[in-house]
Amino acid sequence: MQIGILEADTLQADIREKYGSYADMFKQLFLSVDNRLTFKVYKVIEGRYPENRVECDAYVISGSKFSAYDNEPWILQLQKYIMQLHQHKIKLIGICFGHQIIAQALGGAVEKSKNGWGAGNMTSHIEHTKPWMSQPETQFSLLVSHQDQVISLPEQAERIAGSNFCENASFQIANHILTFQGHPEFSPDYLKYLVNKRRDILGDEKYYRAIDSLCQQSDAQLVAQWIIGFSCMQSVGNQ
């Protein structure tokens, strides 16, 4: 299976040297689950897209420092591409910004959360167990770093998981779209870098809570297994 990574941000050279690009992070995550996977990277932030939408078996939209509601030409172009993939039932995975912009492109709404920044290792509770889940679970934990949230889902979407902090932490549309607010691809070291960078914004209470939470194991590999399992399913009907 070939996965297309739609990069929605460009990290600075010194950060890429230490942690890798967002595409590198996704490659490392998915290969840790299935080393047969191959990848193509498209910097959508620079307007680069597949020549043919079936070049890859599934596409993943990365996180970004931008907001889904920013009036940037590349964001508007990405929304149109999301609608095309949705229309043709092409497998599409959204992570953080990707989760948010998919929701917005298909009729949902995104805004800055009244709960402020989410940072650290956070748990979401599963509302619906799905066939693509490799094992039955009641919750999962992922590293998060966001202040925007999906406040309403597209009409055709089904919420998969949420929490008191983030009501819409994961959703699915039919058999071709799956999204997560959290970051399975982030390492604890990279999340710690982001938390330290935003310490003044977070305030001491959220900062220390986020740092302490990084001692707990996330379910990154489990979620990666889910994403791969979902991407292998036929895009017909509801599951």
Q: Which of 99, 146, 176, 183 is catalytic?
A: 183
Dihedral of CA atoms 210, 216, 122, 4 in degrees, nearest 10, equals 110
190 neighbors 206 (Cβ within 8 angstroms):
no
Among positive and negative, which fits the CA dihedral 85, 89, 90, 93?
Answer: positive
Please name every residue paired with 42 in a beta bridge, in sequence order, or none if there are none. 6
Does 96 participate in catalysis according to the annotation? yes
Each residue's pLDDT tens digit, 186-202: 999 999 999 999 999 99
3-state secondary structure of 183: strand
Q: What is the mean pLDDT of residues 89-100?
A: 98
Distance CA 100, CA 93 (A): 11
**167 contacts 103 by C-beta, under 8 angstroms:** no
24 close to 56: Cβ distance less than 8 angstroms:
no
d(CA 105, CA 132) in angstroms, rounded, equals 24
Predicted local distance difference test score (pLDDT) of residue 135: 77
Tokens of 158: 């089904």
- pLDDT per residue as tens digits for the range 149-188: 999 999 999 999 999 999 999 999 999 999 999 999 999 9
Q: Does residue 210 have a pLDDT over 60?
A: yes
What's the pTM?
0.94
Q: 155 phi and psi, to 5 degrees?
A: -55, -35
Tokens of 218: 């996330």
Task: Indicate the burial class of 229 (C-beta count within 10 angstroms; 0-12, 13-18, 19 or more).
Answer: middle
**What residues does each domain of the chain span?**
2-232
Question: How far is C-alpha 202 from the geometric centre of its chain's CA atoms?
Answer: 22
Residue 204's pLDDT band, with cuts at 50, 70 and 90, is very high
Which pLDDT belongs to residue 120? Answer: 97
Choose the catalytic residue: 96, 146, 166, 167: 96
User: Active site includes 185?
Assistant: yes
Helix (H, G, I), strand (E, B) or coil at 93: strand
Q: How confident is the model at residue 233 (pLDDT cuts 50, 70, 90)?
A: confident
Token code pair at residue 8: 């929605």
Q: 237: pLDDT confidence band, cut at 50, 70 and 90?
A: very low
Query: Would you call 203 helix, strand, or coil by DSSP?
Result: helix
Locate 85 and state its tokens: 């993939």
Q: Inform me whether the pLDDT recorded for 9 exceeds 80.
A: yes
What separation in angstroms does the CA of 53 have from each of 4, 74, 169, 209? Answer: 10, 17, 27, 42
d(CA 112, CA 46): 25
Q: Say what the pLDDT of residue 169 is.
A: 98
The mean predicted confidence, pLDDT, of the chain is 95
pLDDT at res. 65: 96
Joined tokens for residue 160? 């998969």
d(CA 15, CA 235): 37
Percent of the chain's residues with pLDDT above 70: 97
Query: Residue 235 — pLDDT band, cuts 50, 70, 90?
Result: low
| 239: pLDDT strictly greater than 50 | no
Tell me which CATH homologous superfamily contains domain 2-232.
Class I glutamine amidotransferase (GATase) domain (3.40.50.880)
Joined together, the tokens standing for residue 203 give 């305030």
